[in-house]
Every structure is written in C-alpha cells, then in structure tokens.
Amino acid sequence: MPEAPLEPIALATPSRPVTTTGTIKVRVRYCECDPMGVAHHASYLPWLEMARTELLREAGVSYAQLEAAGIFLVITKVEVRYRRPIGYDDIVEIRTRVVGGSQVKIQHEYDITLVEDSGHGAGRAPRPIGEMLAAASTTLACVGKDGRIRPLPDWLAS
C-alpha cells in the first residue's frame, strides 16, 4: 500500500534544534564584481539570503519546504553598511543572528568579515584577517500564497 503524502506543514517542521546564529563562507566570484574587481553592492543581498537559508537548513528545514507548506518569507527592510571593499576572489564569512521579531516577522543581523585576502586589486594594501567589511540587517514578514500576512510557524516566531 502506498504511503500517504505528508501534510505540507509537516514538511516545514524542524528535525533538529532551531539555532539563532550561524556562519557561512563565500568566495567572491568575478561576476559579482565591478570592472575594478570590487564586489558590487548588489552582490551582498544574495550572500545574506544564503546565510539565512543555511540557518533554516541547520534546523533540518529548507526554504523550499516552507514554500511547499504555504509559508513565504518576504523582505520588508534591508540595510547594509559598507565599511571596506570586498574584492574578487576574497573569502568572506557571513555571521548571521536572529535578533528579534514577532508572530509575523523575523529580524536578522549580519557581520561580513575577511577570512582570506586574495591580494587582487591594484594598489590595495593587504587587509587584516577578521576585519569587518560590512554589517547588515533584514526584516522578513511571513505571508501565504495569496500574499497576505500570516503567522509564522511557532518554531520560527519569537
């Protein structure tokens, strides 16, 4: 007898403890840079998204599973403070923290630090490993398939 399909909400239930902090490393690709070899400001937003989705994955839930359950997290606010340039082939670490929220929104903060200086960039002095290159924050709201605000799953709500 075939197994009954899982209810959509069951797909979006964590299988591991939910963590509120995480880190990922990213090597800056050539396509993310301007002609001077500096990471374009728009490249930072996908890195933040990667960091957030890895936090979910740590709990055993993918963003695709949230969507299948009818849970969509949309950006309502993003702020990035660029402190130092990030260059082509640099390796950076994005540290992510859940810092607040409510029954319908989640707030994250991010620190982007240098892990490996590629040395690319004409005339650029070497930078210290661990240097803070950017700081960011996001607010995400939970909506349903219809685009209307809906409560977050209990395990995501603060």
Q: Which of 34, 89, 90, 154 is catalytic?
A: 34
Distance between CA atoms of residues 156 and 19, nearest Å: 10
Evaluate whether 116 touches 26 at the Cβ level (below 8 Å): no
- What the block records as the tokens of 130 is 């661990």
Active site residue 146: no
Evaluate whether 94 touches 22 at the Cβ level (below 8 Å): no
- What the block records as the tokens of 11 is 């797909």
Within 8 A by CB and 6+ apart from 106, the residues are: 73, 98, 100, 139, 140, 142, 152, 156, 158
Catalytically active residues are 34
